């Protein structure tokens, strides 16, 4: 036992002291943050281009379209012949011509002529504005015709912004709020990190095994400890490096969340906000109910119990998946004579891992498809796929079954790999085939 701890400590300290550890620890979160910000920017980026759009208003509506972000609208006095639109646009440097026909009140159609395709956002904005104007006009006509007092006010009061809350129910009668966008993002990021972790740390184990075999230190080592003990020490030591890295990220993440809460929502009782059903302004926040609803929504998705559950699942699937793959990678490392020879045996495992990532991504769209369901139970794909599924709230028995299968699989494959490892590390200069590996399983230790 004591010898294993000596091995673990060497495997751990030599890796943690490496520059690459520091680099990965710092840059992976930064990359993720950049990626996240980039996504947000793409989604919400303001249309900064300055444009002027000419409007030919043939309707009775008065200036139905007003400035949208940086786009100005100029209402033309004179008509322009449709066949001359192109030359007109170029001549006056207009971005587009919008023609609101006389019949707009009957057939709600508006025409836009431009030299280049119109951005979707701009088109939507124009749609909304014209629609609102037309509706307003129709409504005020009805109001004028009727004699109901304060109808205008009363109608205005009927306007209701709707927030769709999605809930997942289970047979035990609980219902959990699932906020699909953010939670599915959680699942995806978790799945991606687990995929990277398994790959990165399993290959580190393999590299270590190949190094010890090629520089021939292994024979000295196994004259002091049993090969299986040594392998175990190495696998655990490398896992500890991964866990340390993960803990650093969690710690930094927790600090960032706490700080941003203090800066962005000072004095808000998040627990109270999370449970609040009535969103009349909570004390201490100066916010509209709609805005507050969004804040509540975000706060709910980072509910501590969910985070803890997710972290727990992450740790379990990281360790389980890593143990499974690391032991197999170690067997590969032991079987070959140099790192370049590992490819032949690595390919099937890499393909399975990559496929599991793709299935995990598809789980975001449909976490209940049969492909996703089965691959979240099968040990080789379950670490990545199950993690992407968990945020959607799935039956406990599925998670337990998947975990039990994973444990059984890594016990079996660690045992199997141990046998190959034991023989492989002492076999030099032999071109190894699958058949050969099978023979090794039968050698006596």
Partner 1 sequence: MSFFKALHIVKRYANHTALDDVSIEIPEGSIYGLLGPNGAGKTSLIRIINQITAPDSGELIFHSRPLQRADVNRIGYLPEERGLYKKMKVGEQAVYLARLKGLSKQDAVARLKMWFEKFEISSWWNRKVEELSKGMAQKVQFITTVLHEPELLIFDEPFSGFDPINVELLKREIWELRQKGTTIIFSTHNMSSVEEICSHIALINKSHKIIEGPINQIREKYANNTYQLSCRYNPQFKAEEFIGDEFKILSQRIEDNRHDIILQQTNYCPANTLLSRIMPAVDIISYQKIIPSMNDIFIRLVQEQ
Least distance between partner 1 and beta carbon 246 (Å): 25
Q: What is the CA radius of gyration of the chain?
A: 31
Binding mask 375-414 for partner 1 (x = CB under 8 A): ----------------------------------------
- How near is the Cβ of 334 to partner 1 at its closest, in Å? 14
Q: How far is CA 138 from CA 108, 214, 407, in A?
A: 12, 84, 67
Which residue do the tokens 């805005």 mark?
291
Residue 1 makes contact with partner 1 by CB under 8 A? no
Q: How far apart are CA 68 and CA 89, in angstroms?
A: 19
65 C-beta neighbours (distance < 10 Å), count: 21
Q: Residue 14 interacts with partner 1 (CB under 8 A)?
A: yes
Residues contacting residue 329 through CB under 8 Å, at least 6 positions apart = 202, 203, 205, 206, 209, 346, 349
**Residue 338 in contact with partner 1, rule: CB under 8 A:** no
Q: Which residues contact 92 (CB under 8 A, 6 or more apart)?
A: 54
The rounded distance, in Å, linking the Cα atoms of 204 and 189 is 22
Pick from 421, 418, 209, 235: which is nearest to 323 by CA?
A: 235
Of 110 and 222, nearer to partner 1 (C-beta) is 222
**Segment 226 to 265, residues that bind partner 1, using CB under 8 A:** 226-227
Strands 71-75 and 51-57: parallel
Distance, CA of 218 to CA of 126 (rounded, Å): 72
Residues composing the chain: 445
Task: Examine residue 444 and tell whether it contacts partner 1 (CB under 8 A).
Answer: yes
State the Cα–Cα distance between residues 218 and 215, nearest whole angstrom: 8
Q: If binding is defined by CB under 8 A, does position 215 make contact with partner 1?
A: yes
Cα-Cα end-to-end distance for the chain = 19
Which range, of 330-338, 378-386, 408-416, 422-430, touches partner 1 by CB under 8 A? Answer: 422-430
Instruction: Output 267 or 445, the one with its CB closest to partner 1.
Output: 445
Residue 95's Cβ-count burial label (10 Å; 0-12, 13-18, 19+) is: buried
Q: Which is nearer to partner 1, 10 or 63 (CB)?
A: 10
State yes or no: residue 430 binds partner 1 (CB under 8 A): no
Q: Which of 141, 174, 181, 219 binds partner 1 (CB under 8 A)?
A: 219
How many residues of this chain interact with partner 1, rule: CB under 8 A?
A: 27
For residue 422, the minimal CB distance to partner 1 (Å) is 8
Residues in 194-213 at the binding interface with partner 1, rule: CB under 8 A:
211-212
CA distance 70 to 51: 7
Asked whether 56 and 100 are in contact (CB, 8 A), the reply is yes
One residue of 132, 138, 216, 430 binding partner 1 per CB under 8 A = 216
Stretch that binds partner 1, among 3-11, 50-58, 86-94, 323-331 (CB under 8 A): 3-11
CB 221 within 8 A of CB 230: yes
Interacting span for partner 1 (CB under 8 A) from 41-49, 60-68, 224-232, 256-264: 224-232
Piece of the chain touching partner 1 by CB under 8 A; list 72-80, 196-204, 222-230, 337-345: 222-230
Backbone angles phi, psi at 265, to 5 degrees: -130, 65
The SS3 of residue 191 is helix
Q: Is 10 an interacting residue with respect to partner 1 (CB under 8 A)?
A: yes
Instruction: Tell me the closest approach of the beta carbon of residue 326 to partner 1, in angstroms.
Output: 19
Residue 411 beta carbon to partner 1: minimum distance, rounded to whole angstroms:
22
Which of residues 12 and 318 has its CB atom nearest to partner 1 in the complex?
A: 12
Smallest separation (angstroms) from partner 1 to the CB of 348: 24
Please tell me the distance from the alpha carbon of residue 177 to that of residue 293, in angstroms, as a whole number.
14
Least distance in angstroms from the C-beta of 201 to partner 1: 18
**Residue 217 found at the interface with partner 1 (CB under 8 A):** yes
Rounded CA-CA distance 190/134 in Å is 47
Determine if 415 is a binding residue for partner 1 (CB under 8 A): no
Q: Give the nearer residue to partner 1 in terms of CB position, either 5 or 70.
A: 5
Residues near partner 1, by CB under 8 A? 3, 6-7, 10, 14, 211-212, 215-217, 219-227, 422, 426, 428, 439, 442-445
């Amino acid at each position: 036992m004591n010898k294993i701890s000596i091995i673990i400590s060497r495997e751990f300290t030599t890796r943690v002291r490496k520059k690459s550890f520091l680099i990965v620890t710092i840059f992976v979160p930064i990359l993720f943050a950049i990626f996240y910000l980039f996504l947000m920017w793409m989604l919400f980026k303001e249309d900064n281009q300055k444009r002027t759009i000419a409007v030919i208003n043939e309707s009775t509506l008065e200036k139905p379209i007003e400035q949208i972000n940086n786009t100005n609208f100029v209402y033309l006095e004179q008509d322009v012949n449709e066949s001359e639109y192109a030359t007109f646009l170029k001549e006056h440097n207009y971005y587009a011509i919008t023609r609101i026909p006389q019949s707009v009140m009957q057939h709600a159609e508006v025409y836009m002529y431009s030299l280049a395709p119109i951005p979707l956002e701009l088109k939507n904005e124009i749609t909304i504005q014209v629609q609102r104007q037309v509706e307003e006009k129709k409504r005020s006509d009805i109001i004028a015709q009727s004699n109901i007092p304060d109808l205008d006010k009363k109608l205005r009061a009927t306007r209701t912004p709707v927030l769709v809350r999605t809930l997942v129910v289970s047979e035990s009668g609980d219902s959990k709020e699932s906020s699909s966008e953010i939670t599915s993002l959680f699942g995806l990021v978790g799945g991606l990190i687990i995929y990277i972790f398994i790959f990165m740390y399993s290959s580190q184990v393999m590299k270590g095994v190949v190094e010890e075999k090629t520089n021939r230190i292994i024979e000295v080592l196994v004259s002091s400890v049993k090969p299986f003990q040594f392998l175990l020490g190495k696998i655990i030591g490398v896992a500890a490096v991964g866990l340390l890295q993960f803990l650093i990220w969690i710690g930094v993440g927790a600090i960032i969340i706490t700080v941003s809460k203090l800066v962005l929502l000072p004095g808000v009782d998040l627990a109270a906000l999370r449970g609040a059903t009535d969103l009349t302004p909570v004390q201490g926040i100066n916010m509209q109910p709609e805005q507050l609803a969004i804040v509540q929504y975000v706060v709910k998705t980072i509910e501590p119990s969910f985070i803890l559950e997710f972290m727990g699942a992450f740790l379990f699937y990281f360790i389980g998946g890593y143990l499974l793959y690391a032991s197999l990678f170690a067997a590969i490392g032991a079987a070959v004579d140099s790192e370049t020879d590992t490819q032949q045996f690595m390919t099937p495992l890499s393909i399975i891992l990559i496929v599991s990532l793709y299935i995990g991504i598809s789980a975001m769209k449909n976490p209940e498809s049969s492909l996703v369901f089965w691959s979240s139970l099968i040990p080789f794909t379950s670490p990545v796929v199950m993690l992407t599924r968990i945020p959607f709230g799935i039956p406990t028995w599925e998670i337990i079954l998947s975990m039990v299968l994973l444990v059984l699989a890594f016990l079996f494959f660690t045992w199997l790999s141990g046998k190959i490892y034991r023989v492989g590390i002492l076999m030099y200069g032999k071109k190894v085939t699958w058949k050969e590996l099978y023979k090794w399983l039968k050698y006596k230790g």
